[in-house]
Structure 1
Amino acid sequence: MDGARAGPHSGLMETFESLVRAEFRPKNTYLNTATSGLLPARTVTALREATELRAEGRPLDPLFENVEHARAAFARLAGVPVTRVAAGPSVAAQTGLIAAALPAGAEVLTAEDEFTSVVNPFHVRGDLKVRAVPLERLAESVRPGTALVAVSAAQSADGRIADLPALREAARTHGARTYVDFSQAAGWLPVDGDDHDYTVATTFKWLLGPHGAAFLVVPEDFGELTPLLAGWVAAERPWDSCYGPVAELAHSARRFDVSPGLFTYTGVYSSLTLLEELGVAAVHEHDLALADRFRRGLAGLGHEPLPAPGSAIVSVPGLGGRQPELSRAGIEVSNRAGNLRASFHLYNTAADVDRLLDVLAG
């Protein structure tokens, strides 16, 4: 990392940096966490041990236990009881549960150009009224008759952060439910699952886990959700519910679980332990400092990123076409709608930012 800064927090900084150095050794300048995060060394080890367990024919009990460890870790991150957290394979699948629960003709309010997994399940229903408005007008656009507002906490395309407090108040005023996707935020931006009716996050981006897992936080009373995908794992006593209809669904949000990818959740649990050790507040400070450094550097080069104050994601109009050139130079970023999207996370350094700026200037 950059080396410990002097001052009252220098000890904390040294601990942060030493933990990160022990877990990550990227071979390139990786500034693409908004697409997928890097796996910590401890997670790679956990995945290797899980595959060896399978290969050797040993009991899989530890892997099933890791699903529950991962669920509990995410519950702590979201600040909710573990009984409110369901485990599934993707955001789209979790959105599908929400969409299926709405009555015909219900109005769903979304942001324009919202990420597809957050909105498409509502469109394919065919009998819902889906209305999209600019992100900045989302709260003021909630109206009587709006059943649900679905939005990402941080926009995938450009990193803009939704005004969630304003949205929460508007939804309460008009009796609407809220569904917030933290996939581009959980891990660097604090999550408060109690602030929203439904909260979802995939784990392979800022939470540093493998692909194939997404957690859904539901209300204590489960809202209007029906466990449409319930199999044996959704039972109160799964191993007694392997044949025939499930006689008793889980008394917790586990009733909404889909049979879990055991390797994936083993990796997720390991990754979440690192984030807990570092603390989201420290990651938040680190990530934003790098994003702001990039924004200042862009100004010096005559480029203006899309407005996204307080975000770890920086999107620059007109530079997306340079993504292949940057990749050849060993710098990984994204091209999103013609914009160059750089995303900064705990394993990145000031040197990474400066290398990107140097190549852009070059």
Structure 2
Amino acid sequence: MTPIPNQRHLFDIPDDVAYLNTATMGPLPKAALEAGTRGLARKLQPWTIPDTDFFADTERLRPLLAQLIGADADGIAFTASVSYGLAAAARNLPLESGQEILILEDQFPSNVYAWRAQAEATGATLRTIGTQGNERLSDALLAAIGPQTGLVACAHVRWTDGALIDLAAVGKRCREVGAALVLDLTQSCGALRFDVSEVQPDFAAVAAYKWLLGPYATGFLYVAPQHRSGAPLEQGWINRAGASDFARLIDYTDAFEPGAQRFDMGERSNFALLPAMEAAVRQVLDWGIANIEETLGARNAALADRLGAIGLSCLPEGARGPHYLAAHLPVGTPANLTARLKSENIHVSRRGDRLRITQHLFTTDDDIERFVRRLPAFLVD
């Protein structure tokens, strides 16, 4: 493991701002803003944009996105949101009446609504998996997968508390019973190691504006080989065979470009967002996801100890994503806790009865000191 020194200089975060809220929205690196600005400027004079620019950004970015998750570039499709990717997955994963769709208690809404609709359309049953006592969420999910399971939809870490799911074990169990596996990796991709060859999901959706530090409305979908001839959500032109020859676009064809490109969203050639996303992803890859995970894991372990000293407990190491902390709040915590912290330029988020604290490589020791020092006073009226 190579500990990463503080990277604040790469971001536009003033010294008096303690931004501990990456799980809500990661800040753009300066380099991403510069790349996006240059890209957007192309449209000031659209006559200068060559036809090849409609394809160049995606051709550079697709293999980088694959590298994030240990995938092949042919398995990557461009999306604007997780909900778009999940809709594509639902369209291509048939279910039968009586089968179960397993989701996690307190799962992110986008990864619930898609499966509610799918259950209603197919006659499948939506089953929510929670925990009892000191049971780990991952163990509860594994125990629930059985012969009636048609599909498991979950994240790598739960967004409310950082509960970690053993996706390798879940993927193995899904294959044993013949169930599909659909993942939302938004709260882990870029900060937690993941390899599709180990987990073997059917689909995995990622929004890039959190741990990948990219712009809003950018993301991607991984599609397993057995689904790459499936039905896309849109009947676009740019993902069709021969689309790069603009003079022959009226030679209509049913043939798509190879791999998962058929699942690309319409107008994927975003001249501003894609260069910004590329710059952010290149920065994450340059740091190294394993190095990010280990660095944030060490910092969060130290912070969890300090929170414990003031009476706030987090899920233990091994039960949560190492990049994630969510402290259980005592009964009677003021409803305006996060607003009071924000008034002092300390930015965190509250999810239910937990205070979610998600630092990154731009977080300084001074940020943590100020947060820990001021928090106790704000836990009481």
Report the TM-score, using the length of structure 2 for normalisation: 0.85
Letter in 2 for 1:80: A
- 2 CA distance for matches of 1:129 and 1:238? 41
Closer, same or farther in 2 for the Cα pair 1:309/1:44, shift >3 Å? same
Match of residue 85 from structure 1: 76
Provide the rounded CA distance (Å) in 2 between the counterparts of 1:294 and 1:242.
Answer: 57
2:328 aligned partner: 317
What code does the residue aligned with 2:87 have? G
The alpha-carbon distance between structure 1 residues 160 and 243, as it changes in their structure 2 partners (threshold 3 A), is farther
Q: Which runs of 5+ in 2 are unaligned?
A: 131-136
Sort the Cα spacing of 1:316 and 1:186 in 2 relative to 1 into closer, same or farther, 3 A. same
Question: Which residue is 2:239 aligned to?
Answer: 234
Q: CA deviation at 1:305?
A: 2.5
2:114 counterpart of 1:121: yes
Q: Which residue of 1 aligns with 2:12?
A: 25
How far apart are 1:321 and its partner, in Å?
3.7
**Is 2:355 the partner of 1:340?**
yes
Q: 1 CA distance for matches of 2:163 and 2:250? A: 47
Select 2:260's aligned residue among 253, 263, 275.
253
Asked if structure 1 preserves the Cα contact closer than 8 Å seen for 2:326 and 2:355, the reply is yes
Paired letter, 2:43: R
Q: How does 1:161-240 map to 2 (within 5 A)?
A: 161-194=164-197, 195=199, 196-222=201-227, 225-240=230-245
1:139: how far off? 1.1
Contact 1:140 1:170 in 2 (8 A): no
Deviation at residue 242 of structure 1 after TM alignment:
4.5
Equivalent residue in structure 1 for 2:372, among 354, 357, 361: 357
Provide Cα deviations, 1:208-232, integer angstroms capped at 9, x if missing partner.
1001122111111326841132311
Length, aligned pairs only: 349
- 1:103 is aligned to 95
* Structure 2 residue aligned with 1:149: 152
Partner of 1:75: 66
Larger mean CA deviation between 190-199 and 272-281 belongs to 190-199
Query: CA-to-partner distance for each residue in 1:308-333, whole Å, 9 max, x for gaps?
Result: 43432211233564100111100111
Query: Which residue among 289, 295, 309 is the counterpart of 2:298?
Result: 289
- Does the 8 Å CA contact 2:90/2:115 hold for their aligned counterparts? yes
* CA offsets 1:155-177 (integer angstroms, 9 cap, x no match): 11111111212212211210112
What is the percentage of aligned positions where both structures have the same residue? 26
- In 2, the alpha carbon distance for the partners of 1:245 and 1:111 equals 44
Partners of 1:301 and 1:167 in 2: CA distance = 36
What does 1:9-48 align with in structure 2 at a 5 Å threshold?
13=3, 16-17=4-5, 20-27=7-14, 28-48=17-37
Q: Aligned partners of 2:274 and 2:157: how far apart in 1?
A: 24
Q: State TM-score, norm by structure 1.
A: 0.90
SS state of the match for residue 152, structure 2?
strand
Q: 1:237 Cα shift?
A: 2.2
| 8 Å contact from structure 1 (residues 305, 316) kept in 2 | yes
When structure 1 is superposed on structure 2, of 325-334 and 127-136 the one drifting more is 127-136
Answer yes or no: is the 8 Å Cα contact 2:341–2:347 preserved in 1: yes
Conserved? CA contact 2:36–2:271, under 8 Å: no
**Residue 4 of structure 1: aligned partner:** none
Consecutive unaligned residues in structure 1, runs of 5 or more: 1-8
* Partner residue of 1:274 out of 277, 280, 283: 283
Question: What is the DSSP-based 3-state SS (H/G/I as helix, E as strand, rest coil) of the residue aligned with 1:221?
Answer: helix
Whether the aligned pair in 2 keeps the contact of 1:109 and 1:150 (CA below 8 Å) is yes
Distance in 2 between the 1:179 and 1:185 partners?
Answer: 15
The secondary structure found in structure 2 opposite 1:233 is coil
Correspondence for 2:42 among 35, 46, 53: 53
1:63–1:266 contact (8 Å) kept in structure 2:
no
**How far apart, in 1, do the equivalents of 2:374 and 2:251 lie?**
61
Larger RCO of the pair (alpha carbons < 8 Å, separation 6+) = 2
One-letter amino acid matched to 2:225: E
CA change 1:122–1:332 in 2 (3 A) is same
AA aligned to 2:276 is: G
- The separation in 2 between residues aligned to 1:323 and 1:84, in whole angstroms, is 40
Rounded to whole Å, the distance in 2 between the matches of 1:54 and 1:152 is 37
2-structure distance, mates of 1:88, 1:158 = 26
Using the TM superposition, give the Cα deviation of residue 67 of structure 1 relative to its aligned residue in structure 2, in angstroms: 2.1
Are the equivalent residues in 2 in contact too, given 1:290–1:350 (CA < 8 A)?
Answer: no
